[in-house]
Structure 1
Amino acid sequence: MATVSSQAAPPAAPQNSPSPAPAPSPAPAPAPPALTGRARLILIVLCAAQFMVALDFSVLNVALPVLGADLGLSPAALQWAVTAFALPSGGFLLLAGRIGDLYGRKKLFLTGLALFGAASLLATLAWDPASFLTGRALQGLGAAMIVPTGMSLLTTTFPEGPQRDRALGISGTLLSLGFTVGMVLGGVMTDALGWRSTMALLTLFSVIVLPLAPGLLPESRTPERPKLDVPGAVTVTGGLLSLIYALSTAAERGFGGADVLVTLVAGVALLTAFVIVESRSAAPLVSLPMLKRRTVAFGNLGGLVTFSMMSTVVFVLTLYLQETLGLSGFLTGLVFGVQGVLSVLAGSFAPKVIGRFGARRTLVVSLFGQGLLTAAILGIGATSGAIIAAVFVSLASMCHLGAIIAYGVTVTSGVPDEEQGLATGLVTTTQQVGITIGIPLLGVLATTGGSLYGGVRTVLALDAAILLGAGVVVALGLRRR
């Protein structure tokens, strides 16, 4: 039997009273504007140039013994095949970025492409050590022009927000992928076609990219034309050249050599002088107020650590897989090939993560993730561990990609267009120095004293600790105030 409520029912509403308006539904978030066909082509050209330079960092590494035997380079002199490129590519970055700001980024980008292509051809056809090392040094100088101006053209072409985040995501992915692909291609091409094919590949890249760039890329420069800060240019370029030489040479011979110690001290002294010069210059090469921006300072710190620590992990795991486990170069390449595939996946969704959670939070979480996953590689054994190494270095590289893209967005966000060359010059200098310093500072511990296996584990533990410590410092430095 049904029950009837004892409460009186509310009176019926009059027929002519208006019904209450429904609550407005939240407006959907506007979708980021799609890239036009021309914008896509510009992005392809700029990213292809960045990929080419990243490829050059590693494509020759596996070929060095064959190259040395062919050209008559002694084992002690083989390091110059790498150092001859690293010195100008890292030393002239800030200067090239500022020249592009003042006199035209497109002009300097095209000049760098042409120089890089001609230098790659010279290295391909090299007939003795001098001609080869000259080609490598000119490649490095061309790269110093391409990288900061290419990044500046990217950040000034794509407006701050989803479009720029997406463009930086693609660029960062290809940068990391180029380094990994270079390691794999270097071994395969050297075995099949000889070491000269690695330099010919770079020549081919520049021949394809250079004709497309003039008609596509917009010219951009600062509206004012202040005088170039010559004292600042001399001190920062000399300081970076000295520092990169010292660290690159220490990777081969340790820090005990007189030339290493002298250039290390000279590098620190010149960079200190650079800071003093910039504080007194009317038109400084590097704006000290920009360096005091928390986003610039702590963003670049995160970038420096993620690059240096990942390059170190790749170096020591290459030794572990080949020397300790006895894997062939081909199988070792497959391990890093998996890393490259996952890096591409990470690069595709990193901009969406940044859009959802912000670049600062993404950078911090990525540093912690890379550190924890690097620590997980300590599970490798003295007789087995290739699968552990492959899985965790690949996952760590995904966090590494997130950190690369997030720190680029962090550093360049909020910077006016006239200073984008400076900001991206700092970003790319951080990349080059990071790739350079990791192996000399930590990687050599794997090969000095004791067993290689024990040395690799020591390096991995220090690598993870540095990443986690940097994550804490960057998190504190980038707290919103």
Structure 2
Amino acid sequence: MDPRPAHYTSATHEVVVIALVCMGQFLSQVGVTMILSTMNILIHSFASNSSEIDQSKTVWFMGSFALTVGTFILLSGRLGDLFGLKLVFCIGWFWTAIWSLVCGLSVFSNSVTFFIVSRAFQGIGFALVLPCGMGILGNTYPNGPRKNLAFGCVGANGPTGATIGALMAAVIGQKSWWPWEFWILAIVSGLIGLLSVFMIPSNLNPNKYTLREAWDKLDVIGSLVGIVGLILFNFVWNQGPVVGWSTPYIIALLIVSVLFIVLFFYLQLNVLEHPLLPKSIFTVKIGLVLAIVCLGWGSFGVWQYYYWKIMLNLRQYTPIMTSLTYIPFLVFGIMASMIVSFIISRTKPSYIICFSAICFTAGCLMLSVTPVHQSYFQLTMGQMFILCWAMDMSFPAASIILSDYLPASSQGMAGSLVATVINYGVSLFLGISSTVEIETSEHSTTLQSYRSALYFGTGVAVLGVVFSVVFII
């Protein structure tokens, strides 16, 4: 093992900093599954009769959070590189605490729309935390086994956070009052923010900009164009199934979003002096890595959403029972993370990403053919074992590849790119799969419409496998 970096004063200091960064990945997954386990409880809470609220709006419970996490990460990595990774990391935790509190208070508004908007603002906090956390590790560790171990620990917190978040929210929602799941998250986020102020090293950024210099280098125009384009494009795919694709504003916004995205890339490549995305990322290799991660995690978002819908609505499991089925994620995830940390330092990242893409495909395919009343200990539990490998492998492998490709001044951007494509892919492909479900539900049973959406998710994952093979070649 290579020596401890000079940024850390002791082994305890190093462990605490890694733990703080890991909590970003852990709680971002908590933010996803806490909604999935209680989505039926939330629907009943905001309406005396659940039929008064269109059930298709439940896609926004998860989609709005993933949308802002994926979109604003594009900017937050740049903010970390310019204004300081530690500063933006701490602000992200306090922002998360505030909007988690508001999410819980939305119960008094009796408005599901206000809750969905609050969830979107909550996601911005994690958008600030995730890339800056990865940038902190990228800047403190040189390439080597110690860096691989640190990144592997972060990846392991995906399945762990998903399990704990689902179970915690299910117990609170079913046995107590659902706002407390958000208030607890607010308290924890605030405490992590305070601890980060004192424990995260301050001298991380290689470039020391004054406030004026940092503002001049911040791509404000490009950021606004990119954020607006990505939000509108994602909004269309999530809102289209709710209001219908023939609605005029859906068609108009789809066209506008595509134009904004095209304009964003034109500005980045040809016009702006300090683009949001460094030109060094516009390579075939980096493009393939980002596409593989986006497709793999996009299919996982589809799997995750319809897994909960099948268990809650078709198998008639309670939220707590369904959450307990996630326990293998916790066990297998810890086992996989230990092995992955060992494998990463001895295997080419290209092979690891390819294997993770295959695992994403297998998990989605297995759920699409699992009989509703089959024992949990057959195909259902098998999916957990396979998917924890996909989650634990794809995130650290992609982060290491980008961290190695990009210069030290863009380490925050390296973390932001991986987190962007993961969360944006989850939200985007979830919206498209919801369209598939709704369009097929008119002529099929509920199970068949769920499976149609899962077939789409499987196709997305297969495309990721194809790209991973091309990347190896």
User: Shorter-normalised TM-score: what interval?
Assistant: 0.7 to 0.9
1:75 aligns with 2:53: yes
Aligned with 2:335 (options 334, 342, 345): 345
Q: What is the deviation of 1:278?
A: 0.9
The percent identity for this pair of structures is: 19
Q: What is the deviation of 1:49?
A: 2.9
Match of residue 407 from structure 1: 398
Between structures 1 and 2, the one with greater helix share = 2
- Once the two structures are superposed, residues 297-322 of structure 1 have per-residue CA deviations (whole angstroms, 9 ceiling, x without a partner) of 11111111111111211222222333
- Once the two structures are superposed, residues 84-128 of structure 1 have per-residue CA deviations (whole angstroms, 9 ceiling, x without a partner) of 544433332211211111111111111121121122223333431
CA distance 1:446–1:221, shift in 2 (3 Å): same
- Of 255-264 and 47-56, deviating more is 255-264
Contact 1:350 1:405 in 2 (8 A): no
Cα separation, 1, equivalents of 2:335 and 2:225: 41
Aligned with 1:59 (options 34, 41, 50): 34
Q: Partner amino acid for 1:454?
A: Q
Match of residue 162 from structure 2: 179
Cα separation, 1, equivalents of 2:272 and 2:306: 43
Contact 1:308 1:436 in 2 (8 A): yes
What aligned pairs does 1:318-337 form with structure 2 within 5 A after superposition? 318-337=308-327
Which one has more relative contact order, counting CA pairs under 8 Å at least 6 apart?
2
- Of 87-96 and 298-307, deviating more is 87-96
- Once the two structures are superposed, residues 9-39 of structure 1 have per-residue CA deviations (whole angstroms, 9 ceiling, x without a partner) of xxxxxxxxxxxxxxxxxxxxxx444682211
Aligned with 1:117 (options 93, 97, 100): 97
- Once the two structures are superposed, residues 119-177 of structure 1 have per-residue CA deviations (whole angstroms, 9 ceiling, x without a partner) of 22233334313875564343222222212212211221222222222112111221343
Contact 2:236 2:250 in 1 (8 A): yes
Cα separation, 2, equivalents of 1:71 and 1:375: 34
Q: What is the deviation of 1:443?
A: 4.6
Contact 2:103 2:119 in 1 (8 A): yes
Match of residue 221 from structure 1: 205
CA distance 1:313–1:222, shift in 2 (3 Å): same
1:396 aligns with 2:396: no
Match of residue 202 from structure 1: 185
Give the TM-score normalised by structure 1: 0.85
What aligned pairs does 1:230-241 form with structure 2 within 5 A after superposition? 230-241=220-231
Q: What is the deviation of 1:372?
A: 3.5
Cα separation, 2, equivalents of 1:251 and 1:371: 25
CA distance 1:57–1:259, shift in 2 (3 Å): farther
What aligned pairs does 1:354-365 form with structure 2 within 5 A after superposition? 354-365=344-355
SS of residue paired to 1:60: helix
- Once the two structures are superposed, residues 265-317 of structure 1 have per-residue CA deviations (whole angstroms, 9 ceiling, x without a partner) of 222211110111011222111123312151x2111111111111112112222
Aligned with 2:436 (options 424, 433, 445): 445
Aligned with 2:471 (options 469, 473, 477): 477
Q: Partner amino acid for 1:473?
A: F
CA distance 1:252–1:164, shift in 2 (3 Å): farther
- Of 383-392 and 42-51, deviating more is 383-392
SS of residue paired to 2:420: helix
- Once the two structures are superposed, residues 393-431 of structure 1 have per-residue CA deviations (whole angstroms, 9 ceiling, x without a partner) of 112213312223222222222321101112211111111
Cα separation, 1, equivalents of 2:70 and 2:364: 27
Match of residue 89 from structure 1: 69
Q: Partner amino acid for 2:127?
A: A
What aligned pairs does 1:223-302 form with structure 2 within 5 A after superposition? 223=207, 225=213, 227-250=217-240, 252-253=242-243, 255-279=245-269, 280-292=271-283, 294=285, 296-302=286-292
Cα separation, 2, equivalents of 1:254 and 1:367: 32
Cα separation, 1, equivalents of 2:360 and 2:115: 37
1:417 aligns with 2:408: yes
Aligned with 1:45 (options 6, 10, 20): 20
Q: What is the deviation of 1:239?
A: 1.1
Q: What is the deviation of 1:79?
A: 5.8
* Bigger radius of gyration: 1
Cα separation, 2, equivalents of 1:452 and 1:66: 20
Cα separation, 2, equivalents of 1:37 and 1:119: 31
Contact 2:71 2:424 in 1 (8 A): no
CA distance 1:241–1:61, shift in 2 (3 Å): same
Q: Partner amino acid for 1:366?
A: S
Contact 1:98 1:422 in 2 (8 A): yes
- Of 427-436 and 203-212, deviating more is 203-212
- Once the two structures are superposed, residues 184-204 of structure 1 have per-residue CA deviations (whole angstroms, 9 ceiling, x without a partner) of 322221012211111112112
Q: What is the deviation of 1:460?
A: 3.9
Contact 1:310 1:400 in 2 (8 A): no
- Once the two structures are superposed, residues 302-357 of structure 1 have per-residue CA deviations (whole angstroms, 9 ceiling, x without a partner) of 11111111121122222233333333333322222223321222122112112121
Match of residue 8 from structure 2: none
Match of residue 13 from structure 1: none
- Of 303-312 and 145-154, deviating more is 145-154
- Once the two structures are superposed, residues 358-387 of structure 1 have per-residue CA deviations (whole angstroms, 9 ceiling, x without a partner) of 211111122123324543445522542533
Contact 1:87 1:244 in 2 (8 A): yes
Q: What is the deviation of 1:61?
A: 3.3
Structure 1 unaligned regions, length at least 5: 1-30
